[in-house]
Structure 1
Amino acid sequence: MERMRRVFLVLLLGALFCKEVSAAQHVVGGSQGWVESADLNSWASGETFKVGDQVVFKYSSGLHSVVELASESAYKNCDLGTSVNSMNTGNDVVKLVKPGTRYFACGTLGHCGQGMKVKITTVSSSAPPSPSPSSSSSTPSTSPKPASTSGASSSITPFAYIVALLGTSLAYVFRVC
């Protein structure tokens, strides 16, 4: 009986921490990074940002910076005077802690006006991803995935797996007792 309690405790702890493990890291601009030449709007529209994910800004320190703006109006007008946060390490990580929209721009004079800005909309980690418009129907990432024929979903998250395992273990414990 003591062994079953230990297994239960391990499974419970795993379920609690598993949500953090499944968080994604999004490098702004993809392989180009945080640069003036990157199409940041297209990059952002192809991503799904969830609570717990991280957004990473990679750039040449001293050439660029990252400024988080307070509002959509400040974002549209490149009003850097309304910043709520400023970073300049060249490898800045922003954790997405709640649903909503956040606005980022380069703090180097003129860069925001040249399009070096990005709007990140974060959804709840339990919300299904919203479909994004595809620029080309021939790209593999935008084509629909075939349905699974095994009866199990191929998109099961580690968290769902742990919960299912935990439920099965509880059923076993109560049946044995």
Structure 2
Amino acid sequence: MSSAFLIAIVVIVAAAVAPTLATEHVVGDGAGWTVGGPNYADWARGHDFRVGDTLRFSYTIGLHNVLEVSRADAEGCTSSDPAAFPYMTGNDSVSLTSPGEKWYICDLGDHCLKGMKLGITVSAPPPSAVTVPSAVGEVSCGWMHLLMAAYCYWMNMIM
């Protein structure tokens, strides 16, 4: 088997796996999002949050909600943004679309003061392109176009 063929197979497999690497993090695991639930700071330390992942907040509708706030607001258990609208479905999926710190609270009653706040740090996404070395330079094809990357590499090898 030629090395060009093996590299093409590796590129195809890597590109096929890359989109599946996004993770859904169920906040609080089995306990969910609730008063008296886990220590959410401890829970967050056990996870690696990346752009493209989602947070799943599961709770009883009407008893809790999820509001994205600033760090200062989370520390004060309040929201300084009058336009902020909480998630309230009981099974909220929050997409992590940018890197940086993200903060979430339940702003019903004194729930935040009782520990219903979560702070996480979201890491940048993995590179969005696979660079394939070839005999005539490098060919960069988007990993979403996996087969095209292998084809580009193969064509550069035979030309």
CA distance in 2, matches of 1:87, 1:172: 49
Find the counterpart in structure 1 of residue 22 from structure 2.
Answer: 23
2: CA distance, partners of 1:110 / 1:29: 19
Quote how far apart the aligned CAs of 1:176 are.
4.0
Q: Is 1:173 the equivalent of 2:155?
A: yes
The amino acid across from 1:98 in the alignment is: S
Instruction: Show structure 2 runs of 5+ residues with no match.
Output: 1-7, 128-141
Separation (CA, whole Å) in 2 of partners of 1:103 and 1:121: 9
**Structure 2 Cα separation of the partners of residues 57 and 105 of structure 1:** 11
Question: What's the TM-score, normalizing by structure 2?
Answer: 0.70
2:78–2:107 Cα contact (<8 Å) kept: no
Displacement after TM superposition at 1:81 (Å): 4.5
Deviation of residue 167 (structure 1)? 5.4
User: What residue in structure 1 maps to residue 71 of structure 2?
Assistant: 72
Question: What's the CA shift string for 1:16-70, capped at 9, x where partnerless?
Answer: x86443211001111111011221110011111000000110011111111111x
Q: Answer yes or no: is the 8 Å Cα contact 1:68–1:86 preserved in 2.
A: yes
| Percentage of identical aligned residues | 31
Larger fraction in strand: 2
1:127-174 CA distance string (max 9 Å, x none): 9xxxxxxxxxxxxxxxxxxxxxxxxxxxxxxx98x86x8655433323
In 2, the alpha carbon distance for the partners of 1:52 and 1:175 equals 34
How far the C-alpha of 1:73 sits from its partner, in A, is: 1.1
Question: What does residue 120 of structure 2 align with?
Answer: 120
* Distance in 2, Cα, partners of 1:36 & 1:120: 19
Q: Deviations over 1:106-132 (max 9, x none)?
A: 1210000111110121010239xxxxx
One-letter amino acid of the counterpart of residue 119, structure 1: G
Deviation per residue, 1:66-116 (Å, 9 max, x gap) = 1111x2111101013436331110000110011011111112100001111
Normalising to structure 1: TM-score of the pair?
0.63
Contact 1:20 1:52 in 2 (8 A): no
Tell me how far apart the structure 1 counterparts of residues 123 and 110 of structure 2 sit (CA, whole Å): 31
The answer as to whether partners of 1:74 and 1:82 remain within 8 angstroms in 2 is no
What is the identity, as a one-letter code, of the residue corresponding to 2:33?
Answer: W
RMSD: 3.1
Distance in 1, matches of 2:157 and 2:87, equals 56
Change (3 A) 1:43 1:174: same
SS in 2 for 1:82: coil
